[in-house]
Amino acid sequence: KAGVTQTPRYLIKTRGQQVTLSCSPISGHRSVSWYQQTPGQGLQFLFEYFSETQRNKGNFPGRFSGRQFSNSRSEMNVSTLELGDSALYLCASTKTGGPLVETQYFGPGTRLLVL
């Protein structure tokens, strides 16, 4: 069974631009969560989507948004990029329960560099 895939793996953008990251969960998994990892702040939870609806949300500004499609694939968008948005963005999937109650399966991440 294929694992969680994330595209692209690496991305370079400049301040003020926007970026869209993609995550395809394990087949049959309907919950997708997103995380940001930086050296300064560590790993932080962004949000979780289930059945095309945002079910849980961390403490991030509105510049960070996401969506989920009917096939459970999810995208994350960051608008008006700032230097501090440079990070490794991870997504994870679970069957239905989400990151709060089920074992998560993580993708390899997308490394974003904002110049």
Partner 1 sequence: KQEVTQIPAALSVPEGENLVLNCSFTDSAIYNLQWFRQDPGKGLTSLLLIQSSQREQTSGRLNASLDKSSGRSTLYIAASQPGDSATYLCAVIAGANNLFFGTGTRLTVIP
Positions that interact with partner 1 (CB under 8 A)? 42-45, 55-59, 90, 92, 99-109
Query: Which C-beta is closer to partner 1: that of 68 or that of 104?
Result: 104
**To the nearest whole angstrom, how small is the minimum distance from the Cβ of residue 43 to partner 1?**
4
Query: Which C-beta is closer to partner 1: that of 74 or that of 81?
Result: 74
**To the nearest whole angstrom, how small is the minimum distance from the Cβ of residue 66 to partner 1?**
15
CA atoms within 13 A on the CB side of 15: 4
User: Residue written as tokens 């940001």?
Assistant: 36
Query: Which C-beta is closer to partner 1: that of 58 or that of 86?
Result: 58
Cβ proximity of 65 and 20 under 8 Å: no
Spatial neighbors of 42 by CB under 8 A, at least 6 apart, are: none
- Asked if the peptide bond before residue 25 counts as cis, ω within 30 degrees of 0, the response is no
**To the nearest whole angstrom, how small is the minimum distance from the Cβ of residue 42 to partner 1?**
6
Cβ proximity of 20 and 8 under 8 Å: no
**To the nearest whole angstrom, how small is the minimum distance from the Cβ of residue 86 to partner 1?**
18
